Amino acid sequence: MEKLTDLPVFVRLLAEHSGQLANYSQMGACINVTHKTSQRYIGLLEQIFLMTTVPPWYTNALKRIVKTPKLHFLDSGLLAAVRGLTFERITRDRRTFGALLESCVFSEVLKLMAASDLRLTAYHFRDRNFREVDIVLERDDGMIAGIEVKASASVNADDFSGLKALAEACGDRFAYGVVLYDSANVVSFGGCRAMSAAGWFRASPSPGTA
């Protein structure tokens, strides 16, 4: 594999893009390799369970969907270390917390999926109006649940726009939507809920429940 010595640099680059859409050409250009080599590097890191690519959820009935995978580190502690994110730095600058929290939640969801008897597949959702849902879970019978992660202490109606778009695309297949945010309060918005991450993991909702 060409330029394998650049892999540590590439890992640091990927850490800065955890929770974002994968742009193989752009990331490869940063270490002067092609987009195909960039994809192979990421494939290698997936094989050693350092990170994963999350495929997009889409339906042919909805044309304006971004069909690009999303990147996630599977170890949020390692992600924080690679990015140099200490507790003090995150406290000073909450903007650094969002991607870290999303990757942490995604990793925990994968653990819950592995321990569950349900047959679930994880996706992400984003349309060309930038409405997105961080985690989409599809059960083997086609039922859908959406999880949006917000590193904030409050939520408003705009935070549910992605879940609303996903629900419209799914129709009767949409079973559950939740926004995880930094508060102990549970708030309902049009059939979806906003709740703390700790509360959600204790409840462990799954597609087909409400």
3-class SS letters over 15-26: HHCCCCECCHHH
User: Number of helices and strands (H, E) in the chain?
Assistant: 8, 8
What pLDDT, in 10s, does the model give residues 50-61?
A: 999 999 998 765
What pLDDT, in 10s, does the model give residues 197-209?
A: 544 444 444 444 4
3-state class of 125 per DSSP?
strand
Structural contact between residues 155 and 194, judged by C-beta atoms closer than 8 angstroms: yes
What pLDDT, in 10s, does the model give residues 142-171?
A: 999 999 998 887 888 888 899 999 998 888
What pLDDT, in 10s, does the model give residues 82-117?
A: 998 888 888 887 777 888 889 999 999 999 998 888
Tokens of 20: 């974002």
Structural contact between residues 91 and 114, judged by C-beta atoms closer than 8 angstroms: no
Instruction: Report how far residue 52's alpha carbon sits from residue 166's, in angstroms, rounded to the nearest whole number.
Output: 23
Q: What are residue 174's phi and psi, to 5 degrees? A: -80, 120
Domain ranges of the chain: 4-203
DSSP state of 57: P
Q: What global pTM score does this model have? A: 0.83
